[in-house]
Amino acid sequence: MLDEIDVIVIGAGTAGLTAALNLADSCKVAILCKSALGDGSSLYAQGGIAAVMDKGDSLESHIQDTLIAGDSLCDKEAVRFTVENAKSCVEWLINQGVNFTLDSKHENYYHLTMEGGHSYRRILHAADATGKEVQTTLTTLIKNNKNIQVFEYYNVVDLILQQQRCVGAYALNLKTNKIETFSARAIVLASGGASRVYQYSTNPVVSSGDGIAIAYRAGCRVANLEFNQFHPTCLYHPKAGSFLLSEALRGEGAYLRLPNGKRFMPQIDERAELAPRDIVARAIDLQMKKYGLECVYLDITHKSPEFIQTHFPMIYEELLKYGFDLTKDQIPVVPAAHYTCGGIMVDSKARTDIVGLYAAGEVTYTGLHGANRMASNSLLECLVYAFAAAKDIKRKLLEFDKIINLPAWDDALVQDSDEAIFIRHNWKEVRRCMWDYVGIVRSNKRLQRAMNRIKLLRQEVYDYYSDFTVTADLLELRNLVLVAELMIESAMRRKESRGLHYTLDYKQKDPRFLKPTILHPAKS
């Protein structure tokens, strides 16, 4: 069975599933995923997918909104490429069976909502659980496709390169704790972002930056890792974990208030609650520090209960579990790490620096997001670049010879660890360090303090990795600490404040930094 694999897709979010389905009509595909099929950040996406679907809207408007949100750092060609391919990707989803919410006032038209940064209603959504609708639909199609094998609970260790080409991967089978060797003609990295590098995150625990770290170790450039988006409104409750309150709430009129009921966004930005996420998150952070607050409050109680329950059924039901009624109560919220705007550098065909290695989704830097991702452009980017990867792979597949007899993983000189507390302690220390010193507001002193500690931690993890048997937690820690170092290095190089990167030492924008921050792997 393994000998039949043509393409390996690493990751089972929207990007990975889309790539697999578009490849399966002409080759054999294997999907490797760290948890159950279909799990990951895409599953929890509440908002929607941005696409020009209304006659009153225009591609140029979507492009300009994206460029503005990206704070002059977007790649204009990447933005145009993505926006121009948006409608066809959405139509593909509809043809696969994804049920977007229809407009109750106009039969056979989709309901389009507004979100921060957009100047027009162009967000297609499935109520307030778009990611779940997309993921469950695509997962069903994957399970019924005979050309796709799914390997659940496999954690990729590293890529296998021969003659400067990616020919396979080593992956830890989490059920047997054995490392297996996979060979393929091409590989697609679609493993998601790295928001779990922070103590507070809206992402599931699998978002530990694995793909970014794996690709960088293999020799790929990464870019713009200083730009980490913090979602402004994550539920503040000790038992809520990482439950976020969709930006669509503010798009439909919700206000942000201080404990005394006063709104603060109109005094900070003319767009008020509809300002881009970086501005809103920084504004909340400022209010919390200024007044010593544990949280601020999101209020949509001025809308009718029918409106709220119709537009936000999942959020409404989830909040009831924690004792909050969205139709009656102001909801306590805090910012939390949400999206990694930088990542592995790819071109418009989703190709990385390594022949045979492609990447799509949050794991990448395409140039679309610039210094700040605009709402609902993320699932769109997953789709567009997954399509691009599949198209290029199918065109080049016969050029890639498959190497069957790859070397097996060698663990003869390692032993089982008797100090698992090392992993747990360092995992917590990395995330706390990043939250305290490389968070929403930064400074030279904070970044240097973070770098000093992360470098020590990375050496400790390297030594531990060299001596002991590989485990899932160790792999994630190894990747997490590398990505943390790359994020800090990127932030230290950008000596200005732009988009999601705000530093107390350089509060203004500087035209000398109107370019991506690119990190090159060290040459061995």
Measured CA to CA, the distance from residue 408 to residue 399 in angstroms comes to 25
Residue 165 lies in a domain: no
Measured CA to CA, the distance from residue 462 to residue 130 in angstroms comes to 40
518-519/222-223 β-pairing = antiparallel
Measured CA to CA, the distance from residue 289 to residue 326 in angstroms comes to 26
- Same domain membership, residue 141 and residue 50: yes
Task: Count CB-CB contacts under 10 A for residue 101.
Answer: 19
Quick one: DSSP state of residue 101? P
pLDDT at res. 524: 39
- Same domain membership, residue 345 and residue 327: no
Tokens coding 144: 């019924």
- Same domain membership, residue 15 and residue 67: yes
State residue 302 phi and psi, 5-degree precision.
Answer: -75, -10
Residue 494 lies in a domain: yes
Helix (H) or strand (E) holding 333: strand 331-340
CB 349 within 8 A of CB 188: no
- Same domain membership, residue 90 and residue 20: yes
Using the 3D structure, point to which of 336, 360, 389 is the last residue of a domain: 336
Residue 448 lies in a domain: yes
For the chain, what is the largest distance between any 2 Cα atoms, rounded to a whole number of angstroms?
A: 68
Sign of CA dihedral 258, 69, 126, 19: negative
Sole residue written with tokens 């000790």:
238
Sole residue written with tokens 């209960």:
305
Query: Residue 316 belongs to what domain range?
Result: 233-336
**CB-based burial of residue 119 (10 Å sphere; 0-12 exposed, 13-18 middle, 19+ buried)?**
middle
Measured CA to CA, the distance from residue 303 to residue 251 in angstroms comes to 13
Residue 72 lies in a domain: yes
- Same domain membership, residue 65 and residue 26: yes
Tokens coding 231: 């979602």
Residues catalogued as catalytic: 277
| pTM of full prediction above 0.75 | yes
Domain count, the chain: 3
Among 422, 411, 490, 414, CA closest to 450: 490
- Same domain membership, residue 8 and residue 104: yes
Task: Count CB-CB contacts under 10 A for residue 485.
Answer: 20
Residue 179 lies in a domain: no
Residue 191 lies in a domain: no
- Same domain membership, residue 22 and residue 146: yes
- Same domain membership, residue 239 and residue 317: yes
Residue 197 lies in a domain: no
- Same domain membership, residue 138 and residue 102: yes
- Same domain membership, residue 456 and residue 370: no
Residue 19 lies in a domain: yes
CATH code for the domain in which residue 476 is found: 1.20.58.100
CATH code for the domain in which residue 271 is found: 3.90.700.10
pLDDT at res. 151: 97
Measured CA to CA, the distance from residue 390 to residue 148 in angstroms comes to 14
- Same domain membership, residue 431 and residue 448: yes
- Same domain membership, residue 433 and residue 493: yes
Q: Can you give the pLDDT of all 524 residues of the chain as single tens digits?
A: 566 899 999 999 999 999 999 999 999 999 999 988 877 667 777 779 999 999 899 999 999 999 999 999 999 999 999 999 999 999 999 999 999 999 877 777 899 988 878 999 999 999 878 889 999 999 999 999 999 999 999 999 999 999 889 999 999 999 999 999 999 999 999 999 999 999 888 888 888 999 999 999 999 999 999 999 998 999 999 887 778 898 889 989 999 999 999 999 999 999 999 987 778 988 998 898 889 898 999 999 999 999 999 999 999 999 999 999 999 999 999 999 999 999 999 999 999 999 999 999 999 999 999 999 998 999 999 999 999 999 999 999 988 888 878 988 987 667 777 677 888 899 999 999 998 899 999 999 999 999 999 999 999 999 989 888 899 999 999 999 999 999 999 999 999 999 999 999 999 999 999 999 999 997 53
Q: What amino acid is encoded at 338 in this protein? A: H
Q: How would you classify residue 108: left for phi > 0, otherwise alpha for psi between -120 and 50, otherwise beta?
A: left
Contacts of 272 (CB under 8 A, 6+ apart): 263, 265, 266
Alpha carbon 438 to chain centroid distance? 18
Measured CA to CA, the distance from residue 376 to residue 390 in angstroms comes to 22
pLDDT at res. 412: 67
Helix (H) or strand (E) holding 429: helix 421-437
